[in-house]
């Protein structure tokens, strides 16, 4: 039998030790469970604020999301119009289907190959807003120029230049949005951006159809109008500003760690490591 005090009963001591170990195991199990969920990305609050409220709280506002989405739509103008109007271009300029395929291939190559240099150009300095505006200006002008070409060489040059400026969309826009919005609304902002792209894929052919039917424009007229519309959209993008790298991520964690560090405690303050562009590419590929 156990005594009332229970302080020296070896059986009770053993039971308490066993209970303690069970609790430790349970705690470890729960910790592992949480870590497992975290590793799979299944963490975070189950209840989140609305997108409108989240964007309001971020202080960034709707402007960058709206204007980058609009730039994404007008960027698609050139490609969509060229896809639809290539038979007309072929008949006007006397270009064969093989030549058309060749210039389109060059354009795709330019878009693909120049995405990396453009990403590298903004890797050291946060100037994604300036590059986005400059490239949008570029593709708008090249879309207008497309309406004035008179040979396959001119068409190739304009399409390659347009492809080069378009490369900024794939390499800059989404990282730019990631740094503009906090994690609580970031994915939804990216969803809006990608949804707008689908809307653009519907609007662009409709615009080509409307300009052909209602304004009776030829392919030249359509490229000029689309380029001017793109130019107008670019003018609205002039207020875009780059918030800097990792504003809501590394910069926030770093500021928290710095705030918690005791005065003179340098071990809590992580060094600001700057990886080169090719180091990042190497780590991604390894």
Partner 1 sequence: MPRRIRAGLVWGALLVSVILAAGCAPPLRADGLLFVQDRRLLITSPADHAVVSTPTVIRWRFAGRTDTRFQVFVDRAPQPPGETLDWFVRFDRTGIYETTATELPLNRIARFGRDGTTRENLHEITVVIADTSGRRIGETEAYVDFYVQVRR
Using CB under 8 A as the binding rule, whether residue 150 contacts partner 1 is answered as: yes
Binding part of the chain for partner 1, among 36-44, 56-64, 158-166, 177-185 by CB under 8 A, reads 158-166
- Beta carbon nearer to partner 1, 68 or 114: 114
Give the footprint of partner 1 on residues 220-279 (CB under 8 A). Answer: 220-221, 224
Using CB under 8 A as the binding rule, whether residue 95 contacts partner 1 is answered as: yes
- Beta carbon nearer to partner 1, 139 or 176: 139
CB neighbour list of residue 101: distance below 8 Å, 6 or more residues apart = none
Token code pair at residue 25: 């195991």
Token code pair at residue 275: 């990886």
Closest CA to 278 of 165, 119, 167: 119
Place of tokens 């990608």: 194
- Beta carbon nearer to partner 1, 92 or 123: 92
Binding part of the chain for partner 1, among 2-10, 34-42, 139-147, 191-199 by CB under 8 A, reads 139-147
Using CB under 8 A as the binding rule, whether residue 147 contacts partner 1 is answered as: yes
Burial class (CB in 10 A: 0-12, 13-18, 19+), 130: middle
Q: How far is CA 186 from the centre of its chain?
A: 10
Token code pair at residue 16: 């308490």
Using CB under 8 A as the binding rule, whether residue 151 contacts partner 1 is answered as: yes
Using an 8 Å Cβ cutoff, are 163 and 110 in contact? yes
Per-residue string for binding with partner 1, 203-222, x by CB under 8 A? ---------x--xxxx-xx-
CB neighbour list of residue 37: distance below 8 Å, 6 or more residues apart = 43
Using CB under 8 A as the binding rule, whether residue 93 contacts partner 1 is answered as: yes
Residues that bind partner 1 (CB under 8 A): 87, 90-97, 138, 142, 145, 147-151, 153-154, 157-158, 160-161, 212, 215-218, 220-221, 224
């Amino acid at each position: 039998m156990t005594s009332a005090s229970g302080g020296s009963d070896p059986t009770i001591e053993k039971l308490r030790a066993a209970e303690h170990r069970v609790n430790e195991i349970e705690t470890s199990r729960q910790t592992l469970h949480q870590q497992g969920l975290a590793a799979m990305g299944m963490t975070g609050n189950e209840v989140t604020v609305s997108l409108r409220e989240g964007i309001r709280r971020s202080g960034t506002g709707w402007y960058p999301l709206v204007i980058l989405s609009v730039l994404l739509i007008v960027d698609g103008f050139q490609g969509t119009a060229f896809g639809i109007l290539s038979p007309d271009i072929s008949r006007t300029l006397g270009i064969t289907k093989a030549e058309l395929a060749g210039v389109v291939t060059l354009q795709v190559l330019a878009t693909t190959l120049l995405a990396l240099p453009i990403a590298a150009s903004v890797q050291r300095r946060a100037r994604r807003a300036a590059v986005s505006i400059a490239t949008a200006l570029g593709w708008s002008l090249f879309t207008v120029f497309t309406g004035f070409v008179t040979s396959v060489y001119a068409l190739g040059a304009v399409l390659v230049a347009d492809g080069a400026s378009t490369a900024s969309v794939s390499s800059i826009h989404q990282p730019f949005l990631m740094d503009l919005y906090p994690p609580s609304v970031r994915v939804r902002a990216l969803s809006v951006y990608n949804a707008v792209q689908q809307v653009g894929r519907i609007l662009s052919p409709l615009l080509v159809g409307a300009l052909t039917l209602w304004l009776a424009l030829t392919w030249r007229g359509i490229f000029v109008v689309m380029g001017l519309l793109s130019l107008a959209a670019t003018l609205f993008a002039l207020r875009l500003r780059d918030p800097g790298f990792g504003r809501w991520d590394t910069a926030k964690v770093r500021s928290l760690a710095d705030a918690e560090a005791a005065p003179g405690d340098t071990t809590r303050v992580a060094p600001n490591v700057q990886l080169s562009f090719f180091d990042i590419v190497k780590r991604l590929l390894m």
